[in-house]
């Protein structure tokens, strides 16, 4: 007795079982899905490129208007220097690059090392942090102006005697700062480590000197000798 599934198909006359899967349909279905997936992937992959092409180009940089130089007269070490300077030129660059006074050193160029210390109206400042045009008419003293009549100043002599430098790069700033320190101390100016601000004059201890010279860095580590040199001048022993 034949199985019901072995009966001929009325439409085709085939005796193959109608319950068998249609193997011819599978490749077509798989190919269709593959093409659909590939098309979708290509669309997604091209999207960033399309977006990048649609973004507007960056605008060209704006050209800054140049500020013309103008004459600036600086009174440095008792001499008048008339220099052609742009307003943005720092006092440090004016001294070194325009006036030719190379004693003042450029260290960090951001007011952290003290190598560029000069005196303006007797006050010590970092020349890299101030503009030259701000100091017209003011008395500026650099390390070249500390000596008088070819004779080293007392603090300069003390630095030599007490070996208060090694490489010497920071020494111009150290000398200017120490000069101002002694003037401030003699004027009775207190510091953050002054024990009793009512005592006049204050006692110039090692801590006082270190605090008052803390804005000047010596990478060679000559600090003890710098302290000794300042003590010597203050005590009249330089």
Give the domain CATH number at 89.
3.10.20.30
Domain end position, chosen among 111, 145, 179:
145
Question: Is residue 115 in some structural domain?
Answer: yes
Residues 6+ away with beta carbon under 8 Å from 202: 185, 188, 190, 191, 194, 196, 208
DSSP letter at 76 equals: E
pLDDT for the residue numbered 66? 75
69-80 residues labelled b (16+ CB within 10 A) or e (exposed): eeebebbbbeee
pLDDT for the residue numbered 35? 73
Question: Is residue 3 in some structural domain?
Answer: no
Q: What's the total number of domains in the chain?
A: 2
The C-alpha atoms of residue 203 and residue 42 are separated, in whole angstroms, by 83
Question: Is residue 49 in some structural domain?
Answer: no
Question: Is residue 229 in some structural domain?
Answer: yes
pLDDT for the residue numbered 53? 60
Domain end position, chosen among 84, 112, 145:
145
Residue identified by tokens 């300077």 is 85
Same domain assignment for residues 163 and 134 = no
Same domain assignment for residues 99 and 160 = no
Question: Is residue 2 in some structural domain?
Answer: no
Question: Is residue 185 in some structural domain?
Answer: yes
Domain end position, chosen among 86, 116, 145:
145
Same domain assignment for residues 162 and 229 = yes
pLDDT for the residue numbered 190? 87
For the chain, which ranges sit under pLDDT 50?
17-18, 26, 238
pLDDT for the residue numbered 160? 98
pLDDT for the residue numbered 200? 73
Residue 122: left if φ>0, alpha if ψ -120 to 50, beta else—which one?
left
Whole domain around residue 127: which residue ranges?
A: 70-145
């Amino acid at each position: 007795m034949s199985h019901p599934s072995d009966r001929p198909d009325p439409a085709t006359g085939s005796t193959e079982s109608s319950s068998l899967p249609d193997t011819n349909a599978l490749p077509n279905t798989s190919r269709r899905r593959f093409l659909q997936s590939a098309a979708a992937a290509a669309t997604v992959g091209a999207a960033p490129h399309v977006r990048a092409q649609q973004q507007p180009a960056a605008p060209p940089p704006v050209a800054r208007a140049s500020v013309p130089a103008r004459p600036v007269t600086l009174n440095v070490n008792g001499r008048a220097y008339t220099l052609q300077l742009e307003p943005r030129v720092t006092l440090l660059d004016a001294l070194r690059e325009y006036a030719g006074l190379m004693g003042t050193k450029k260290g960090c160029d951001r007011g952290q090392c003290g190598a560029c210390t000069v005196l303006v109206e007797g006050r010590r400042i970092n020349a890299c942090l101030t503009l030259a045009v701000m100091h017209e008419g003011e008395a500026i003293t650099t390390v070249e102006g500390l000596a008088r009549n070819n004779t080293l100043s007392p603090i300069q002599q003390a630095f030599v005697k007490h070996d208060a430098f090694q490489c010497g790069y920071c020494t111009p700033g150290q000398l200017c700062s120490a000069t101002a320190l002694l003037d401030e101390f003699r004027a009775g100016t207190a510091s953050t480590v002054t024990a009793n601000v009512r005592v006049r004059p204050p006692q110039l201890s090692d801590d006082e000197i270190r605090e008052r010279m803390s804005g000047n860095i010596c990478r060679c580590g000559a600090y003890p000798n710098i302290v000794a040199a300042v003590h010597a001048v203050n005590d009249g022993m330089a």
